[in-house]
Structure 1
Amino acid sequence: MIQTAQKTCKNYNNNNNNPGCFFCTMAEPDPSARRSRIAKCFRELPLRDDKELMIILTGVWRIAVAKPDDPEFPALGLFPCMAKLIINDRNCNNMSIPYYAAHIIGSYTMNSSEFAEMAVRAGVLTPLMELLRGKMSWVEQRVAVRALGHIASHRATFKAVAAAHESEIVNLAMKIASNCIETVYNEFVKMGSEGRMEYQCELMGKGVGGLELQNKKAEAWATQLQSWSLYLLNCFARKKRSINLICNQEFLTELSSIWGGLENQNSFSGICLIRTLCLTQNGRESIANSPHLLKTLCNLSRSSDDSQIKAIKILLSLLQDPNTRPKTLQISAPFLVDLVELRAIRGRSKLGDQIAELLLQDYAKFKVEKSGSLGEGISPFLEEAWELKVGRRKPDELMSERELKQRRVMVSMLKKEGNQKFWAGRVAEAVVIYKKALDLCPLKLRKERIVLHSNRAQCFLIQGEAESAIRDTTRALCLSGQTNNPHLKSLWRRSQAFDMKGMGRESLMDCMLFINDKGRRGMKIPYYAIRMLNKQMNATWIFAAAAAAAAANDETQRPIVFFENGKTKEEEKKKKKFMDGKLEKLIGNGVHQKKGLWRRISIKKNNGLDRRSSVDF
């Protein structure tokens, strides 16, 4: 950037060293003179009001992003200059100046505690708080919350942030995290080209691209605004500050559904903050008192989401605490029992044993001494876990090779009989036969049990019992290894089951893993997986809820147009968008683009489910 600007500088091109030109100063060969002139430039920069100010500021911004650990600019008065630029009323002619100034502060304070201390001494907190309060727009809030988060992350500067603005920052960050997606949609995405502020479009498009690029950037920035707000809250939670304020039940309910989406899966999400809150007694009790949050964590624990391990760890920490164990066990037992045979996942071994140990912590005493109570409705699930981890284990270990072979033959015969019942359309009878086979099958016959669980899950799908299908497919995936070498049919069936329950995020992650593993094995990507992927991408679009709310408001103000098939105009548009989605960037060459593919494939359906998946043999 500096080299480009130097080429446009008339004095630099004419070899005239102008002391007042920032770019001539950057080219000064004498280090002492160069530093003196840079310091003078930073002192005078807030007083300028010309086109060169923006060129200088964007140049400094690029240096800050590229070299955030370089001490030269911070030592020469950068932070006082940026603070003045944010609050300077002269910036009304160029509204991008506060954005770049706050971004520069955040970049330099990201890694260095020393730079953060310099920034606090320079008085950057007050102007950053002005932007956080919404002095300008959500665009400036984004860089302000980022800068405050970096400053608060350092031990040396956290006290300064907390001492002056703790309760206000926490309340503002919670409000932004809850409302920013809707705000960005209503104030930018929904407005179209005519209603958007020109400087915001320039910041997002950098002078190139149209609405598509701006909308894509808006999605990324909205996610970052939400993520950095949670990160700022996490800085206080780590210090065990404002825990009661953060643990507002309404906010916790919203927190459970906040994630970075497909393009920002590694960003700081709601579950990361929940994990930090679990380190405190008040935090654990607040989480245990939120049934909705507990159920969300349980659903994540049985998914292919990257947050699966975090969700399991949170539930285990709640089960370890005597104060939160009863409420947590009541809700989580039906979910965690499906994970007691979980094998190594993402480098963590014996996770299933840890789950079983905590689930059965009180059950052994209840089983042997017939004392105590387990809570209403969870005894069958704990009994099931006991049989899998204790009751059936010893007899299986003592089983002779001859008996094992006999059991294998009997299980194979029952499986074939179940398959025949399934193909004959007698699905309920097939379920009963598969259950008999599972009860008879020794625990060490993993492959046979995987197929039986998966086949029974297919029966449950046809019967419309989504929860039972999720349970069986999860058990099959735990036995096969959920991430390293998953059982593909079980993965696809669980994606369908999640879809039946309206759980788009979980269905999407299973479908993505299914497609990726198919590609990794050199197999053709089935078209029905592409359709599911497209559907769930639309369902989990970051602005989906905000767009639906806006559309509902618009519908009250305009007449509804119906087509001959009884569908509304909006429904027809959504259907076309669904079928015409562009997925090449996610699945590479796996998409079958041959013309007429959709017309030539005939699918038998039962309640909207593809019968093509059938059962294993």
Structure 2
Amino acid sequence: MAALIWKGLKNRRWLSLDQNIYIPYYAAHIIGSYTMNMEEFAESAVHAGVIPPLVELLRGRLTWVEQRVAVRALGHLATYASTFPSVASHGEILELSIQLAMSSLEIVYSHFYQYVDRRLSYHCDLLTRGMGGVEMESRKAEEWASQLQCWSLQLINCFAFKPEFIPTICKPEFLVKLPGMWGGLVNENSPAGIGLLRTICHHKLGRGPVASCPGIIEALCNIASSSDDWQYMAIDCLLWLLQDPNTCHKVIDKAVPALIDLAEIKALGDQKKLGDSIVNVLQDCIQSQGTGRNSVSNHTKELIGELLNSKQRMKWEKNMPKEDLHIKQAAALVVKLEGNSLFSSGNISGAASKYSEALSLCPMRSKKERVVLYSNRAQCHLLLQQPSAAISDATHALCLHNPLNRHAKSLWRRAQAYDMLGLAKESLLDAILFINECSQSNDPDLCLRHNKVPDYAERLVKKQMRAAWLFREAGIKHGGVHYEGDAGDVYGQDSDDSEWETASESDMGNDGRDEMGDDDDDSEWKNEDESKDKCDKA
């Protein structure tokens, strides 16, 4: 295989004959496939001299399709302890991979996607095996571009486990782009940029550069609070940064609000008692912080103090008589109903205050009731044009809910709040999960009528898919391209989103049956032009 790649690189006349143009691609593909899970094959490949020709493909000596299989093969070879030194001995591999991770989407867009009439025929054949038209080719190009970026990140990640390579990786122009390298929806199994950031933050050498980029910390907070599959990776990064005395003071004011919203998570993935771990780290931060340069702001101290008080309150309630807890629960219900009444009359600010009062009364163990109160208050914040507060309350509700991140109304409200802040990816993921929850719900107010997605949810998903499109930045840079399936909308230009309702124009109906025992209106889903915002009476 190595000899065939070299022949294609050195003899362009031979490469242009018959079907020879495909040979370097398939040779590199075979190397990657055979070394994927077999260390002995990887060792044989290295001894056979496959790395130098793969490096030439990685440099772009042919085209991006050969770069894709070359970075894949090198990533497999770098996975094994026995073959990594051979990969690392070619110092340019890491630099080339970093450049490819940053430029891969633009390369595929400008060299293939943008100009249909200039597409190389053998690229089209590789993508679709000669079957399918322009639309199929374009879809596969997005998938392959995503793979090109994600496999580049995987190769870099192999280097990131070694401290000696951290300085090369932790260049600000690369680090700031990592949170946005998520692969769209076609590579949902790849940890992408957030996975590499997690590896970097595991090293003391890596935490300093990450903490020095405020944009990265903000992005980590957004991912940690979202329904992203890799939410736990962002939480890990924030906790490691807070536990490091050299970086804690740089990130604590930004990280604390996001982590406090997550402090009621019981388990996330393989991590048990994650909420308790968050509380312990925040408590240690307060105790270890001194005065001067490393001091914590008063606002941050107050937030952590409130969190610790709530944990203390939970301990007190364990020793309270059941009768007293029932009284507190009943009082919270009365105040919540007062909030519902104020909301219905249009006094949104007053309703929010009542929901806050009800939360202070409601027993900590009454999780279902607290989910509803937080979700109701999130809706109030939406109507008051306070998206950050709405995200905080919706996140509280989603963390309390069982299963985690699956409370439909909170997902929908947070999706709208993310939209107000321009966080397209986070809004898209919540909106998709919201539709998924509705499709599985037996609640007459949540289930989809005739299996049809509500128009307003469909419009939000379409809007955010345009905004989070894999080639969006490349499209803006190179003049834009018409979006398939949405005639007239051009990437790189502001589309008219006037048809999309704001939070004050449409939301869901009631929860159906009050979780505390009272019946509510079993109103059906309504057309977005007919519906009115309602807080949950449950």
- In 2, the alpha carbon distance for the partners of 1:573 and 1:318 equals 37
- List aligned pairs for 1:142-153, cutoff 5 A: 142-153=68-79
Q: In the superposition, relative to structure 1, how do residues 552 and 376 fare at CA in structure 2: closer, same or farther (>3 Å)? A: farther
Unaligned segments of structure 2, at least 5 residues: 483-487, 501-525
- In 1, the alpha carbon distance for the partners of 2:401 and 2:191 equals 30
- In 1, the alpha carbon distance for the partners of 2:63 and 2:109 equals 13
> What is the DSSP-based 3-state SS (H/G/I as helix, E as strand, rest coil) of the residue aligned with 1:474?
helix
> What is the DSSP-based 3-state SS (H/G/I as helix, E as strand, rest coil) of the residue aligned with 2:83?
helix
Alignment partner for residue 422 of structure 2, among 480, 502, 509? Answer: 502
Q: In the superposition, relative to structure 1, how do residues 613 and 512 fare at CA in structure 2: closer, same or farther (>3 Å)? A: farther
Query: Given residue 457 of structure 2, which amino acid in structure 1 is its aligned partner?
Result: A
Query: Could you say which residue in structure 2 is the equivalent of 1:161?
Result: 87
Query: Could you say which residue in structure 1 is the equivalent of 2:284?
Result: 361
Query: Could you say which residue in structure 1 is the equivalent of 2:454?
Result: 526
Query: Could you say which residue in structure 2 is the equivalent of 1:26?
Result: none
Query: Given residue 502 of structure 1, which amino acid in structure 2 is its aligned partner?
Result: G
Q: In the superposition, relative to structure 1, how do residues 207 and 412 fare at CA in structure 2: closer, same or farther (>3 Å)? A: same
Q: In the superposition, relative to structure 1, how do residues 360 and 569 fare at CA in structure 2: closer, same or farther (>3 Å)? A: closer
RMSD (CA atoms): 2.7
Query: Could you say which residue in structure 2 is the equivalent of 1:298?
Result: 221
- In 1, the alpha carbon distance for the partners of 2:490 and 2:36 equals 49
Q: Deviations over 1:517-556 (max 9, x none)?
A: 22222521433222222222222221122222323799xx
Query: Given residue 75 of structure 2, which amino acid in structure 1 is its aligned partner?
Result: G
Query: Could you say which residue in structure 2 is the equivalent of 1:140?
Result: 66
> What is the DSSP-based 3-state SS (H/G/I as helix, E as strand, rest coil) of the residue aligned with 2:114?
helix
Query: Could you say which residue in structure 2 is the equivalent of 1:175?
Result: 99
Query: Given residue 25 of structure 2, which amino acid in structure 1 is its aligned partner?
Result: Y
Query: Could you say which residue in structure 1 is the equivalent of 2:109?
Result: 185
Q: Deviations over 1:339-377 (max 9, x none)?
A: 11112333533110100110111435889xxxx943353
What TM-score do you get using the length of structure 1 for normalisation? Answer: 0.75
| Conserved? CA contact 2:472–2:492, under 8 Å | no
How many percent of aligned residue pairs carry the same amino acid?
43
> What is the DSSP-based 3-state SS (H/G/I as helix, E as strand, rest coil) of the residue aligned with 2:529?
coil
- In 1, the alpha carbon distance for the partners of 2:270 and 2:489 equals 50
- In 2, the alpha carbon distance for the partners of 1:443 and 1:483 equals 17
- In 2, the alpha carbon distance for the partners of 1:613 and 1:429 equals 15
Alignment partner for residue 549 of structure 1, among 453, 477, 480? Answer: 477
2:352 equivalent to 1:431: yes
Query: Given residue 179 of structure 2, which amino acid in structure 1 is its aligned partner?
Result: S
| Conserved? CA contact 2:476–2:492, under 8 Å | no
2:394 equivalent to 1:473: yes
Query: Could you say which residue in structure 2 is the equivalent of 1:417?
Result: 338
Query: Could you say which residue in structure 1 is the equivalent of 2:523?
Result: none
- In 1, the alpha carbon distance for the partners of 2:492 and 2:39 equals 53
Alignment partner for residue 150 of structure 2, among 227, 241, 259? Answer: 227
Q: In the superposition, relative to structure 1, how do residues 118 and 80 fare at CA in structure 2: closer, same or farther (>3 Å)? A: farther
Q: Which has the larger radius of gyration?
A: 1
> What is the DSSP-based 3-state SS (H/G/I as helix, E as strand, rest coil) of the residue aligned with 2:272?
coil
> What is the DSSP-based 3-state SS (H/G/I as helix, E as strand, rest coil) of the residue aligned with 1:180?
helix
| Conserved? CA contact 1:458–1:615, under 8 Å | no
Query: Could you say which residue in structure 1 is the equivalent of 2:512?
Result: none
Alignment partner for residue 444 of structure 1, among 348, 355, 365? Answer: 365
Query: Could you say which residue in structure 1 is the equivalent of 2:510?
Result: none
2:384 equivalent to 1:455: no
> What is the DSSP-based 3-state SS (H/G/I as helix, E as strand, rest coil) of the residue aligned with 1:306?
coil
- In 1, the alpha carbon distance for the partners of 2:480 and 2:142 equals 21
Query: Given residue 429 of structure 1, which amino acid in structure 2 is its aligned partner?
Result: G
- List aligned pairs for 1:213-292, cutoff 5 A: 213-292=136-215
2:240 equivalent to 1:320: no
Q: Deviations over 1:483-526 (max 9, x none)?
A: 37x32211211111111111111111111221112222252143
Query: Given residue 316 of structure 1, which amino acid in structure 2 is its aligned partner?
Result: L
Query: Could you say which residue in structure 2 is the equivalent of 1:375?
Result: 297
Query: Given residue 148 of structure 1, which amino acid in structure 2 is its aligned partner?
Result: L
| Conserved? CA contact 2:5–2:53, under 8 Å | no
> What is the DSSP-based 3-state SS (H/G/I as helix, E as strand, rest coil) of the residue aligned with 2:62?
coil
- In 2, the alpha carbon distance for the partners of 1:343 and 1:136 equals 51
| Conserved? CA contact 1:83–1:123, under 8 Å | no
Instruction: Compare the two structures and name the one with the higher helix fraction.
Output: 1
> What is the DSSP-based 3-state SS (H/G/I as helix, E as strand, rest coil) of the residue aligned with 2:377?
helix
